[in-house]
Structure 1
Amino acid sequence: MIQPADDNAYTPPSPHTTLLDALSHVSHRDYNQYCENWQADGELDVANEPDDGCGIWQAKYTDLHERRLEQLERLKAGDFKSFVHEDPPTYVSYVCKEDPRHRGSHGCGGLADRMTGMISTFFYALLTNRAYLAYWEPTNPLPLEEVFERPHIDWRFNPEEMRTLFDRQNQSMLSYKSINTLNVKWGAIGRLMFPNGANQDFKQLWNASYVEMQSNRGYIVRTFQESDRYPQMLADMGLTKENTFRCLSDYLFRPTVGSRQFIQAYRQLFQMDSVLSIGLQIRTDDSAMVNPDNDTNTLEKWDYFFHCANELREAKRLPQHKHVVYFLITDSVKLRDEFITLNTDESLARRFLGEAFNETTAVITGLPISHVEAKTVATKYRKDVALDNSHQELLDGVNGAIIENWLLSYTDYRLISRQGFGKLAAFHSQSARTTIGLPKVNKHARIDCSNPHSFITFDTLSTWWSLG
């Protein structure tokens, strides 16, 4: 179904057969429309067009960014006199690099940590009129430009070149500041971003013309909560607590064409009128990825996720929902393989899917399961593990994580483990109160998933893991 990408870019496999299983149960109208809408290029809707609900800030910021890049070329040429009648050019970058003290890549975290750091850094750039730049060290695990396209601005840059240019003592227009918020806690982020309380002006935080950020922590929702200065400014732009993360993310980054093709095949199913789609993101532990032969995860072990999904299904299913889709994302191949037997084993389906078992299809992507920082994760469990993953394996793993996270954000509802990956999808959904968090342990802690009060607010999500 998916054509090979040009220039050796990532090309995913065909969608898993469970997608076709689910499509066989939808309404005739939705099925016919799915087939009519299928495009060979699998393009997603272009982000941030005027009617997409993201406001009016994009064109203004794009102009600013392009002007800052033009100014940067003059700074590189030593042409300081030409800035007499211009505002001083300022820049901020997100940098993810390896920590030489550890084997393999370390410090930036997985996809959720990185996206949270990148989007929050851009949030700061947007509110301070700085050009935004982003960089992943090429071996950590791949260059960022191999993973994402740049739909609106060119954020590529060379960190060493920028540091060399701006880290000077004798030039007033050139100054450099390094900020590191890797793994910091809630209190530390508050003291860093709001040292003067609710009226804090982010422009006054650091006066360096170039600020370099190493971060896997966020403060977007927190700004809406604690700032007296910015909520109205953001509202005037068209940005809210619910849509900001999605809008900024889609403005900056777009999955490459192969990933978009795969995403579109599932997204159209999840958003059909005749389908109720519920995503289940079950984070077991890293050892399931590193040592799959010793994986002990089963449907029985995680049955409380399915119990919750069944309650949610009964509470949210509407008359037009001809069929229900449970979409599973997990780090356990064994659990995923057992999950899809629910489509063929009636006794298991009755046990785990409840009374509506024959109106519910288990769907997966079938993509390789891998952590973005696979080398670091592997060495936590196996000291003898090789650190020479092929480029194709890394490309498959990172893009698989991106695809599954984007897809989780497009389901009607989602049940997530209380860590970063599911939270990222919840933020990207830009839909508050469509996500329920379930514990990783103590599965007997009762959560009534039919109760609307069980849904998590963005305020609560912003206190988890990589904050927000």
Structure 2
Amino acid sequence: MHIYKAFPSETFFKLVAISIGVAVTCLMCNIVDYSFFITLPRRTKDKFAKTDKIPEKVFSGRNNNFELQSSYLVSLNNPIYDTNRDIRILRKETLKNIVVEHEQDCPDKQFLIYKCSTQLCGGLGDRERGIVSSFLLALLTNRTFVIYMTKPCELENFIGPFFYNWTICKKYIETVQPENISEHYHICGQRLDSFYTNIPNMNFKEVWTHQIVIMHTNVYNHLMNNIKLHKDIQRQMNWIINMTNPEIVHLVLHTLFKPRQRLNEQLFELVKNNLNGRHLVCSHIRIGKNPSIPGDLNLSEGKPKTQTIYSFLKRFKNPQKYALYIASDSNEVRHDIMSNFKNAFNVNRTIVHVDRLKNVYKTTNVCEGLFTAILEQQMLSLCDTLLITRSNFGTIAAYMRGSSENLFLYQTDIDQVFSTNLTNIQIIYRFF
């Protein structure tokens, strides 16, 4: 069955507006407060779960904790984004217990902070996992949520708050005395610690007595599963109970973030210079330790066999129909694709793993490395067809994209590319 089609000639670009940053103030004013989640009839295939193991998700009016944005025309000097996907964010009502409207109200609040500064945090995908988990814990415990990420530089340089402002109390928390702060490290590699398994029965009021609780974490699937089992979940967060984890990640990240102007402009240039009305095919190919990032680790499952991925991508070589975007942690992969696909493009920026820096300080601006990572992930989230290899970075991009349509995985142990859905990514890749 032929599932690929080029853009209609009359459409300049079909992109997801929220993923590329709804950076104009008027858009905030145009958000419509729906009492239930709506799936647009024109995009009925845009569902999260399509699998024999997990039933297809059908949304109804019983779940009223969403706001929907769709079909906005967003301008950056020129109207370029003709959106055609549902945008999902949490409702104001869902956030009311943790919102701070004014800086002077900060001293009266309790906080949960996701922190990434000098300690091990992981790459961008690990950090986004920790942000999602920390935000959910903040909602569960009625603590105002703050992101304090300064490694390798301030996150706010490139991405700002969207529907929930996580920056208002940042200055205040820097004035709080150490005796009013508790700090918790739950960065996991190959195994989980007991904090996550104890969540269903945890009395957070007794465990977390300080005004500020700081979380260092990179776990999300295990935490989301156990939060759904918490004894207070029906009262505190009933909207989460019947949600798939990909939906939760999509909701949280789109509620929290919108790219700054520079990031929007870079996305605009990539799109304007390369799409020309064609179907956007993307692939993220994670290699692990290689000459481009020698400080990275070897992948536990082994490196992907790139020739299998290249063979799959050959079906998209027609330059009249397809534009091929490649994101990778390897310059060799970039070079191979650019040499063999005339319709290929990439960001053409230095590759940096934001937590495996080693001597990179001597060779490049590490803040630019973070910017590049965010830019690449945002671009992947806009794709009409997306192929990912096993990585948190690519998986989060797929969740941000929010569609199982034209989604493909490469699985190293069987050396195959196959069609899948968002929910099955976790089943196959088994992330914490």
For the criterion TM > 0.5, the same-fold answer is: yes
Spell out, residue by residue over 1:76-109, the C-alpha distance to the aligned partner (whole angstroms, 9 max, x if none): xxxxxxxxxxxxx32111111214xxxxxxx011
User: Closer, same or farther in 2 for the Cα pair 1:447/1:286, shift >3 Å?
Assistant: closer
3-state SS in 1 of match to 2:416: coil
The letter of the residue matching 1:251 is T
The 1-side partners of 2:127 and 2:417 are apart by 32
Instruction: Give secondary structure in 2 for the equivalent of 1:208.
Output: coil
363-372 or 417-426, larger mean C-alpha shift: 363-372
Distance 1:271 1:229 in 2: 48
Q: Given the alignment, which residue of 256, 261, 264 partners 1:260?
A: 264
The one-letter code matched in structure 1 to 2:118 is E
Read off the aligned partner of 2:386 and give its amino acid letter: R
1:116 maps to which residue? Answer: 129
The answer (yes or no) to whether the contact 1:270–1:412 under 8 Å persists in 2 is no
Corresponding position: 1:178 with 2:183: yes
Cross-structure match for 2:9: 28
Answer yes or no: is 1:133 the counterpart of 2:146: yes
Contact 1:124–1:202 (Cα < 8 Å) also in 2: no
**Quick check: 59-68 or 419-428, which moved more?**
59-68
User: Between Structure 1 and Structure 2, which shows a larger proportion of strand residues?
Assistant: 2
The correspondence for 2:157, drawn from 116, 129, 146, is 146
2:346 is aligned with 1:364? yes
How far 1:56 sits from its partner (Å)?
5.1
User: What residue ranges of structure 2 are gaps of 5+ in the alignment?
Assistant: 1-5, 15-19, 33-67, 70-86, 296-303
- Equivalent pair of 2:102/2:168 in contact (CA under 8 Å): no
- Give the residue type in structure 2 aligned to 1:28: S
Aligned residues: 358
Deviation at 1:112, TM superposition (A): 0.9
Q: Which residue of the other structure, out of 425, 436, 456, is the alignment partner of 2:397?
A: 425
Q: Which residue of 1 aligns with 2:113?
A: 93
Correspondence for 1:17: none
Find the aligned partners of 1:227 and 1:210 in 2 and give their Cα distance: 22
Deviation of residue 239 (structure 1)?
Answer: 6.6
- The alignment yields a C-alpha RMSD, in angstroms, of 4.3
Deviations 1:435-467 (A, max 9, x none): 433245x6xx34352xx4587625427832xx3
Larger Rg: 1 or 2? Answer: 1
TM-score normalised according to structure 2 size:
0.68
Letter in 2 for 1:372: V
Runs of at least 5 residues in structure 1 that lack an aligned partner in the other structure? 1-24, 36-40, 76-88, 100-106, 169-174, 293-299, 345-360, 380-384
Residue of structure 1 in register with 2:355 after alignment: 373
Q: Percentage identity across aligned positions?
A: 17
1:65 to 93, 99, 107: 99
Conserved in 2, the CA contact under 8 Å of 1:280 and 1:328?
yes
Aligned residue among 317, 339, 348 for 2:337: 339
TM-score, reference length from structure 1: 0.63
Alignment correspondent of 2:253: 249
SS of residue matched to 1:249 = helix
The answer to whether the 8 A contact 1:281-1:416 is kept is: yes
SS in 2 for 1:127: helix
Structure 1 residue 394, shift from structure 2 partner: 2.4
Alignment of 1:385-424 (within 5 A): 385=359, 387-388=361-362, 393-424=365-396
3-state SS, counterpart of residue 243 of structure 1: helix
| C-alpha spacing 1:187/1:291, structure 2 compared with 1 (3 Å) | closer
Q: Deviations over 1:310-350 (max 9, x none)?
A: 57x69xx9xxx971233211122232133123344xxxxxx
For the residues of structure 2 that align with 1:148 and 1:337, how far apart are their CA atoms?
Answer: 29
Q: Distance in 2 between matches of 1:285 and 1:389?
A: 20
> Where is the helix percentage greater, Structure 1 or Structure 2?
1
Give 2:327's aligned residue: 329
